[in-house]
Amino acid sequence: MKIFLDTADVEEIRTGVSWGIVDGVTTNPSHIAASGRPFREVVEEICDICPGPISAEVISTEAEGMIEEARMVSSWKPNIVVKIPVIKEGIKAIPVLAQEDIKVNATVCFSANQALLAAKAGATYISPFVGRLDTVGHDGMLLAEEILQIYRNYGFTTEVIVAAVRHPLHVAQAALMGAHITTMRFNILEQMFNHPLTDAGVEQFLADWNAAGLSS
Ligand code: E4P
């Protein structure tokens, strides 16, 4: 399973990429706003740091505007993927962009039907926001599972990005169900390393080694 970072913080991205385990980045308008930097400048810098797919989202809510923005944003760097929300206007825009070989990450997905439409329209990626569903009392990971099953049933090549994850268990569940990608905040990536028994085990080995007066 590929791991994407869900941020526009270039230092976090640089660190994750240096660890050799980050395959791409998803930004959104909130992340860009939080960076305090101009949209194009920060997206281009992220594209230079990480060679994988970098998602950058359109702001328009009408198909024509989305298409225009997508053409512009995708021309900035070759690894840019354009994020299009799965509203009706977004679904209308996706086939036009697919025809032009512009990769689309269909985003803000909360239902299996939205995911079906996005795949039929030719989206390269679909992003179900699992944690936001959990927050309103629905099972976000069940949605991810349904989408994967539907795509398998009909041989869609659209890749599932499990998004808005809230803890490392979401990541492990996504991997178990065969999701193509999980995108996560940097703190969740860091949490994935941790296990208290690993820390205790390493500490014990070192203590035994040192007590015996051994050297490397
Ligand atoms: C995904 O592509 C989105 O940027 C992101 O996962 C939104 O998640 P949030 O609910 O953590 O903001």
- List the domain range (segments joined by +) for residue 193: 2-211
Residue 216 lies in a domain: no
> 170-200 pLDDT, tens per residue?
999 999 999 999 999 999 999 999 999 999 9
Reference 168, options 146, 184, 150, 145; nearest CA is 184
Our mutation pick for probing the ligand 1 site, out of 5, 9, 28, counting the most ligand atoms within 8 A of Cβ, is 28
Look at residue 81 in the predicted model and tell me its pLDDT: 98
77 CB neighbour count, 10 Å cutoff: 16
Q: Which amino acid is at 172?
A: A
Ligand 1 centre and the CA of 69: distance in Å? 21
Give me the CATH number covering residue 40.
3.20.20.70
Query: What domain count does the chain have?
Result: 1
**Residues carrying an active site annotation:** 83
What is the phi/psi pair of residue 149, to 5°?
A: -65, -45
Residue 193 has a pLDDT of 97
CA 1 to each of CA 4, 43, 176, 182: distance values in angstroms, whole numbers, following the listed order? 10, 24, 9, 7
Query: Quick one: what percent of the chain has pLDDT higher than 70?
Result: 100
Strands 104-109 and 125-128: parallel
Q: At residue 125, what is the residue type?
A: Y
- The pLDDT value recorded for residue 38 is 98
Q: Is residue 104 part of a domain?
A: yes
Q: Express each pLDDT in 38-70 by its tens digit.
A: 999 999 999 999 999 999 999 999 999 999 999
- Tell me what the pLDDT averaged over the chain comes to: 98
H or E element at residue 168? helix 168-176
183 lines ligand 1 (CB under 6 A): yes
- Is 102 part of a structural domain of the chain? yes
Q: What are the residues whose beta carbons fall under 8 Å from the beta carbon of 42, sequence distance 6 or more?
A: 8, 10, 27, 32, 35
| Rounded-to-integer distance, Cα 40 and Cα 10, Å | 13
Ligand 1 pocket member 28 (CB < 6 A): yes
pLDDT mean over 9-16: 98
pLDDT in tens, 80-132: 999 999 999 999 999 999 999 999 999 999 999 999 999 999 999 999 999 99
pTM of the model: 0.96
Query: What is the model's pLDDT at position 2?
Result: 98
**What pLDDT, on a 0 to 100 scale, did the predictor assign at position 216?**
83
Whether residue 96 is contained in a domain is answered as: yes
Q: Note the helical H segments in 36-76.
A: 39-49, 63-74
